[in-house]
Amino acid sequence: MFDFSSSEIQTIDGVLEKKLAWANNRTALSEQMALDASRLLSCTEERLADCSGQGFFKRCWFTLSGKTGAIERANASDLLEMQKYAWRYINLLQERDLLEATSIIAVKNNLMTLALSQDEIRNEVTRLADRVYDRFVALEDRVANIEASQRIHGWLLTIDSREYDTRFPENLRLLRVVCDFYSMKSDSWNVTEIKCLHKALKEVGLDIKSNIGVSSFVDGLTDEIEQKGYDVFLTLITNNLNTGVDDDFVTDCISAPAFSSLYQIKKNYSSSSKIIKALQKNLQISHAEAIKIVLHDFIDEQGIDRSIKVPLRDLATEILFCFSLIQRLAVEHGDSLIQDDDHLEESFVDRALSSDFAKTVSAKLDLGRDSILRHLKLK
């Protein structure tokens, strides 16, 4: 993807050495940066202005490449240099065996689903994803004889009596199994334990080898929430996390669109629910379809190709990893990540008049922004 000279590799590696040390003593930040670096590869010169305001870009700007200047001055040359650092960083992580098994899957998923227009770049990224996954296979061979923990093993043996398949439709069932697994062991899973999660998903009637895209996953979840109730979904994504962690922090700090979309669903069923209902009435569509419009735009903004699919077992592994990562990042950053109720209070009119939101609806439905806003103001 990049033509590195030997001197350029030496310079980049010199900067990255300190960052790679995080893998030993600041694992959460190292894994977050791996996701950020994979996301950075989808950023183009045309999307630079949009990307520069997002969390993953800011973290790469100040941390990965050692940039110190104002991010507002970022240009195409800066972007290319940062992408070189990101590309090399991911390669070094997998070459030096510095990624945990679950983070390998999450990074691989990110790489595979990037919206890339050039076939040559797409092929290079695919090869990198394959190399990252090869490291997972190597880990599997190394720990093949390690027995899963007693609690996980006991849960797996009795899983058929827990009636996951009758209590939950498919997408909520996937979340329920992942959350129950996470509650028994919240980090440091070996490959055998991840295989136990995959077997559990299979035992409850899910086709773990089937491929699923981010948009179809969130669409299915939205439909199931309408059927089973929002409280069922809310319990699944909040029980295992510090309830003080702000939803916006999750979507900003986790560069994995499938996981971030869970919190976009939560946000649009709660703080943005009045706007969704107003759109639903004005556009004469269902509540679920109104939410899907906003979620699809969120996915597109992440530079994700909605036509790309990953195995269901890998999606489940990614969600498991992200639950752990967000909890560890909250500990790393401390009180600064705790929800500030005063800061989060926004009026309905402020939300309705959000230019980004109006652009989303107008672009997706080919409606006039002014007519939408007039309707929302009247509400």
Task: Return all residues near 178 (Cβ < 8 A) that are at least 6 apart.
Answer: 197, 316, 319, 320, 323
Residue 181 in domain: no
CA separation for the pair 232, 379 (Å, rounded): 29
Q: Return the pLDDT at 3.
A: 73
pLDDT tens readout for residues 101-130? 788 888 888 888 887 766 666 677 777 777
The residue assigned the tokens 């770049």 is: 121
Q: Are residues 117 and 216 in the same domain?
A: no
Residue 284 in domain: yes
Buried b vs exposed e over 22-39: b needs ≥16 C-beta within 10 Å? bbeeebbbbbbbbbbbbb
Q: Are residues 220 and 339 in the same domain?
A: yes
Residue 324 in domain: yes
Residue 187 in domain: no
Name the residue among 215, 211, 210, 206 with its Cα closest to residue 172. Answer: 206
The angle subtended at Cα 259 by Cα 270 and Cα 252, nearest 5°, is: 75
pLDDT tens readout for residues 132-166? 777 776 665 554 444 446 788 889 999 999 899 99
Range of the domain at 335: 211-345
Tally of domains in the chain: 2
Residue 231 in domain: yes
Q: Return the pLDDT at 139.
A: 64
Q: Return the pLDDT at 110.
A: 85
Beta bridge partners of 311: 211
Q: Are residues 225 and 128 in the same domain?
A: no
Q: Are residues 97 and 220 in the same domain?
A: no
Measure the CA dihedral 248/249/253/255, to 10°. -30
CB 209 within 8 A of CB 313: yes
Tell the burial category of 361 from Cβ atoms under 10 Å away from its Cβ (0-12, 13-18, 19+): buried
Q: Are residues 111 and 11 in the same domain?
A: yes
pLDDT-flagged residues of the chain (< 50)? 143-148, 335-358, 361-362, 364-369, 371-379
Q: Return the pLDDT at 203.
A: 96
Q: Return the pLDDT at 66.
A: 65
**DSSP H helix total and E strand total for the chain:** 23, 2
- Kindly report the pTM of this predicted structure: 0.70
Q: Return the pLDDT at 312.
A: 96
Q: Return the pLDDT at 127.
A: 75
Q: Return the pLDDT at 212.
A: 95
Q: Are residues 29 and 129 in the same domain?
A: yes
CB 188 within 8 A of CB 196: no
Residue 339 in domain: yes
